[in-house]
Structure 1
């Protein structure tokens, strides 16, 4: 599970302890990786409590799952559009990343370390990752984590 040094430093800096700061970093990364690939993206987080405090481990893992998922969209999906939805309800953080790309058959794919790493990150925090995809139907990844 490789992370860049800047991601690690960012995750432990107490100035970044809110969900709003995580969202800002996510938007910066989305622009950096999706715009050059000419993939449109939209964030839906209207009901998100931006002041919600997150510990360094939560910040790091939420961001790195997001980063891995968007990297996969840019590299493999052939998508033209990505929808990113986030909410916190009943102390459960939910992030859904859905693309309109080519999808894939999970059983046929050598998914490498990406999905495994995302699942490990979620599990370490008491959460889950669900991947829904099939050829020709795009891909939808849902991350759910308890937050307090």
Structure 2
């Protein structure tokens, strides 16, 4: 092969190399651009999910606040205002001792209402004691059996404690209003890692599919979601209702 031919071959391979380098660079550039676009798109999705989650949390918080306000309004109207109105109507027909007793009972109802809406400092009281105190008040309206089995209550943080307490309140409130029950049983199991709550009654039960949002279940679902818990509702018409609640306390 002549010198000119060798130079031509070398030149050809140089151009081939340049072409391959250009194609490789172009491929890498396109790959980087595609990756950057994908990252940006995924980041936008994540940000949108965060915004949606924040919005959902805010809506859930507002809903729970509204439920607490409704509970307060109902308690004020059904119990305290009605009782005070009776005292006013009967003021001319009762002696001072009877009026004092009626006022004392009304004051006790107000204290109970305040306690139920704003529990004591959660860091200063165990969930078991909080429930015992509340259930003692409920016993004036219905028979209540409480079965605690506690291994380590220190594993429960205040968020779990408060939401569990509110869930029990909501469930018992539903039973008193709708179930026509004569007995409520509450089981509480607390181990080193898990909390299990069972609330059941011997009432009329209901069709869960037809009344999934009609008896305060949404409030219970939201509180359960807030502490990453799981729950199951078992009920049938005329067969009573059982609510099973489970949470891993270590993961909080």
TM class by smaller structure: 0.7 to 0.9
Q: Show structure 2 runs of 5+ residues with no match.
A: 1-63, 73-113
- Tell me, yes or no, if the aligned pair for 1:7 and 1:60 is still in contact at 8 Å: no
The secondary structure found in structure 1 opposite 2:231 is strand
Q: 1:43 corresponds to which residue?
A: 146
| Runs of 4+ more than 4 Å apart | 4-9
Q: 2:221 corresponds to which residue?
A: 119
- Tell me, yes or no, if the aligned pair for 1:131 and 1:140 is still in contact at 8 Å: yes
Which structure shows the higher strand fraction? 1
Return the structure number with greater relative CO, CA threshold 8 A, min gap 6. 1
Coordinate RMSD, CA, aligned: 2.3
Q: Show structure 1 runs of 5+ residues with no match.
A: none
Q: 1:95 corresponds to which residue?
A: 197
Aligned residue runs from structure 1 range 13-92, under 5 A:
13-16=122-125, 21-33=126-138, 35-37=139-141, 39-45=142-148, 47-49=149-151, 51-89=153-191, 91-92=193-194
Q: 2:103 corresponds to which residue?
A: none
Which structure shows the higher helix fraction? 2
Q: Using the TM superposition, give the Cα deviation of residue 108 of structure 1 relative to its aligned residue in structure 2, in angstroms.
A: 2.4
Q: 1:142 corresponds to which residue?
A: 244
TM-score (norm 1): 0.82
Q: Using the TM superposition, give the Cα deviation of residue 62 of structure 1 relative to its aligned residue in structure 2, in angstroms.
A: 0.8
Q: Using the TM superposition, give the Cα deviation of residue 83 of structure 1 relative to its aligned residue in structure 2, in angstroms.
A: 1.1
- Tell me, yes or no, if the aligned pair for 1:11 and 1:60 is still in contact at 8 Å: no
Indicate yes or no: 2:112 matched with 1:10: no
Count of aligned positions: 141
Q: 1:55 to 1:7 in 2, by over 3 A?
A: farther
TM-score (norm 2): 0.50
